Structure formats: C-alpha cells, structure tokens
C-alpha cells in the first residue's frame, strides 16, 4: 500500500488540502489502488500547498501545489510510483529549500502524523526523556548548565 502525506495544518487546509484528500480517496478507490493518507504537519513550503508527498523506495517524492482537479492526471501519470508530472518536484529532502537546513525544533514536522503516538515513538520521540530518566537529578542539572557554555 502506498503512503501519501498531505498536510493538515491551517495553511494547507485553507488552500484546499481537505478536498485534495477526498479526491485521492475517491479516485484511488475507483481505480482499485490502495493508498494510506497520512495527515502530517506542513514542511513550511506554503507556496506549494497543498503539497502531496509519496513514499517511494528512493525517499519521499513531492508534488505541488495540487488541486483536486489534478488528482486524476497525477494518478494516471504514476504518482503512486513517484513518476514525472508537471507538478513533480522531486525528492523533498533534495529541494533547495531544505538542502542546507539543519532542523532541530521542527525536525519531525512534515515527517510524522502529529496525533499518532506510535509514529512519534518510531521517530525517536521521548528519547531525551528516556535518557534523562537514567540520570541522577544533579547530572541533569549539570548537562543543562554545561549546554549553555558552548556558545
């Protein structure tokens, strides 16, 4: 089953993401294509919303901005296999907007379903808490204090 990632944040919704989701669900079902749609947070490429990412063996491939009227053409062109189309953007991680970024606070935004705890855990959620629970209180204070000295 192919996974599609379509943002559920306010910008994507205001630009029609919900209608795009409905179009994919309806048209994929009519074609007998099994898809799973993950409603993630936006990656910040608001000028490309609604952005649709497809999970492929080579990574996540992006298309955008996608309108409901584009869905039929996208499916016919092979979107589920990450194939070319006029809305094809390529591997999302290779786009110039992301290539030189090192996201810390928003590292998981756009990658995970923000309301799925299993997805969060699969992407190292709570790693810091797990590490902290292995330490004594004084060691935690020392790490926090020391972290401010590397400026």
Tally the residues of the chain. 151
- What's the pLDDT tens digit per position in 55-109? 999 999 999 999 999 999 999 999 999 999 999 999 998 888 877 766 555 556 6
Q: Say whether pLDDT at 151 is over 70.
A: no
Cβ-based burial of 120 (10 A; exposed 0-12, middle 13-18, buried ≥19): middle
2-115 belongs to which CATH class?
alpha beta
Q: Which ranges in the chain belong to alpha helices (H)?
A: 10-14, 17-31, 71-77, 96-99, 117-122, 127-133, 137-147
* Cα–Cα distance, 89 to 48 (Å, whole number): 10
Identify the three-state secondary structure at position 2: strand
Domain spans of the chain, in order of start:
2-115, 118-147
- Whole-angstrom Cα distance, residue 3 to residue 30? 17
pTM of the model: 0.73
| Of residues 27 and 134, more confidently modeled | 27
Instruction: Count each helix (H run) and each strand (E run) in the chain, helices first.
Output: 7, 5
Q: How does pLDDT run across 92-104, given as a tens digit for each residue?
A: 988 888 777 665 5
């Amino acid at each position: 089953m192919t996974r599609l990632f379509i943002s559920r944040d306010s910008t994507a919704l205001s630009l029609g993401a919900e209608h795009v989701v409905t179009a994919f669900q309806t048209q994929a079902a009519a074609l007998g294509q099994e898809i799973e749609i993950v409603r993630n947070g936006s990656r910040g490429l608001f000028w490309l919303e609604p952005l649709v990412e497809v999970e492929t063996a080579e990574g996540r491939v992006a298309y955008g901005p996608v309108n409901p009227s584009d869905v039929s053409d996208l499916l016919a062109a092979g979107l589920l296999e990450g194939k070319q189309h006029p809305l094809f953007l390529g591997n999302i991680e290779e786009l110039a907007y992301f290539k030189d970024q090192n996201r810390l606070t928003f590292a998981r935004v756009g990658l995970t379903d923000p309301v799925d705890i299993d997805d969060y855990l699969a992407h190292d959620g709570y790693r810091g808490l797990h590490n902290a629970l292995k330490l004594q209180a004084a060691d935690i204070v020392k790490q926090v204090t020391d972290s401010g000295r590397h400026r």
